[in-house]
Structure 1
Amino acid sequence: MACLLSGATLHAEGGSYNVDDASVVGTGKCQLESWLREWSHGSNGIYAVPACGAGPVEIGVTLNTGHRAFGPGVNPSVKWQLRNGDDKGIGVAIATAATWIRGRQDDAQTYVATTFGIDDARRVMVALNAGADRIGGESTHALYGIGVDFAVTPRWTLLVERLWTHRTITDQGGVRLAFGESSLDLVVGSEKSPHPSHWINVGWNAAF
C-alpha cells in the first residue's frame, strides 16, 4: 500500500496519476515521467519513472525518495497491451508491479486496464482498472480505479481520478499543459484512510 499512497504504482494518464490507461510507450521508444510531491504533513518526495517499449510490452521502474516511514522505494513494472485503443475503440492491457522499500518487498499488484472515448472526437477519455493488491506477501485485496481526462484544447487537459484499495480511497485531479513530446502537470490529491492526508504534485513528462 505504501507504493500506492506515494504515487509510485499505477501511471494512468501518465505522470503522478494512479489509474493506469491501456497505452504503452511503443517499440524502440522511451519516456520519463517525474514529479515533486509536497504532503500536508510537511514532508516531500521526488519521483522518476523511466520506461521503454518493445512491441506491445512496456517495461518501467519507479524510483522515489518516499514519504515519512515509506521509502526510498523501487517499483519495477511490466504492461502488455492486448488491444490498441489509442486512436479508436477500446484499449486493453494487463500489468503487474511490485514494490521494494529499503530492500524489502512490500507489496505487488496485478490488474487489467481499459481505455475508451466517450465522444467521437475522443476529447473525453475514460480509464478503468480492476485487479488485486497483495500487501506484504500476506493478504490480497481488490483494487479498482477510474480516471477521466477532458481535452479542453489541443494543449490543455483536465484530469480527475479515484482509486479504491484496501481501507483507502485516493482522489486526484489536475491540469496538464502539453508542448511537443513533453508536458507539465499540476495535481492535487487526498486520501481517505486510517491516516488521511493530502498533497500537491508538480511534474514534467517527456517522450524520446
Structure 2
Amino acid sequence: MHHCRVLVPLLLSVAVLPFDTHAAASLLVDDASITDAGQCQLESWVRHTRDGQEWTAVPACTVADTEWSLGLTRLPGQSAAQWAVGAKRVLVAPVQRRWGLAASASLGGTAHRPRSDDWNLTVPLTVALDAQDRVQLHLNLGWAHHAHVQGRTSGVGIDVALHRDWSLLAESARDADRQRSSQLGLRRVLWPGASVDLLAGQVHHQRTTRWLTLGFNLAAPP
C-alpha cells in the first residue's frame, strides 16, 4: 500500500499542470535501469523551441518488478495535452556483469482522442565502459507506430561522470520517420535523489529545429 500512497499524489500533482510527451525523459536515449521496487520518481522538463515552450512531466513507480509511468505534455499552440502510458522491465540486471538489458513499451495519444494512435517498443542496453561505472554507454533498438508513419527506431548515448555531482550527457537517436536528432548537455546532482539537466539539441539537417531543455528529476523516498 505504500507505493499507492506515493503514486497517487504524484499523478495528481501533474494532472493539473499544462504538459506533452516525446519520451519518458528529457533524454532521447533510454537506459536499462528502473526505479527500486516500491519507489517512485518524477521526471519533468521544459523544452524551449522557436515555436515556444513544451512542458512535460512523467511520474513513474515500480510495482511487481515493472516500472509504470504516465507522461503528460503540453505543446505550444495546442489546446489538447498529449499523454503516454508506459511499462518497463529489466531483463538482465547488471549484477556481476558490466551490462544490463531491459524492455519497454508505451501507448500514447491526446486528450481529445481517447483511443491510442501511437505505440512503441524499445530494448535498451547499458554497458559500463570502466570498472568504476563512471562511463556508461546506452544503446536503444525498437519499433514505433504513429498515425502516418511506422518504422525502426535506434539511439546511442553516453553518460560520463566528470565529478561527484556533475555528468556529461551526449546522445543521438533516429525516429520512425528516419529523422536523426542529437543533444549534448550536463547533469548536476542537487542532493541524493534530485538532479537538474541542461541540454541543447537539434534535428539533423534542420537548422530551424533546435531546442534548449531544462529538466528536473526527483526520486521519492522509500
**TM bracket (short chain):** 0.7 to 0.9
Map 1:6-155 to 2 at 5 A.
8-11=21-24, 15-41=25-51, 43-68=52-77, 71-85=80-94, 88-104=97-113, 105-136=116-147, 139-155=149-165
Task: Give the 3 Å change call, closer, same or farther, for CA 83–113 of structure 1 in structure 2.
Answer: same
Structure with higher Rg: it is 2
TM-score normalised over the length of structure 1: 0.87
* Alignment root-mean-square deviation, CA: 2.2
Which of 195, 202, 205 pairs up with 2:214?
202
Return the alpha-carbon distance in structure 1 between the equivalents of residues 63 and 139 of structure 2.
Answer: 24
| Structure 2 letter corresponding to 1:155 | D
Residue 3 (structure 1) aligns with: none
Identity level (%): 28
CA contact (8 A) 1:57 1:80 kept: yes
| Structure 2 letter corresponding to 1:96 | A
Return the alpha-carbon distance in structure 2 between the equivalents of residues 8 and 31 of structure 1.
Answer: 16
| Structure 2 letter corresponding to 1:156 | W
CA contact (8 A) 2:20 2:83 kept: no
Pick the structure with more helix per residue: 2
Task: Give the 3 Å change call, closer, same or farther, for CA 71–127 of structure 1 in structure 2.
Answer: farther
**Gaps (5+ residues) in structure 1?**
1-5
Return the alpha-carbon distance in structure 2 between the equivalents of residues 170 and 164 of structure 1.
Answer: 6
Return the alpha-carbon distance in structure 1 between the equivalents of residues 48 and 179 of structure 2.
Answer: 19
- 1:106 is displaced (CA, Å) by 3.3
Return the alpha-carbon distance in structure 2 between the equivalents of residues 109 and 70 of structure 1.
Answer: 24
- 1:69 is displaced (CA, Å) by 5.1
CA deviations on 1:30-88 (whole Å, 9 max, x unpaired) are 000111111023x1111111000024210001111124459520011100111112784
Where 1:121 maps in the other structure, the secondary structure is coil
Which of 192, 195, 207 pairs up with 1:180?
192
Where 2:31 maps in the other structure, the secondary structure is coil
CA contact (8 A) 2:126 2:136 kept: yes
Where 1:31 maps in the other structure, the secondary structure is strand
CA deviations on 1:141-186 (whole Å, 9 max, x unpaired) are 0000111010001210000111101231111111010122100111
Where 1:186 maps in the other structure, the secondary structure is strand
**Gaps (5+ residues) in structure 2?**
1-18
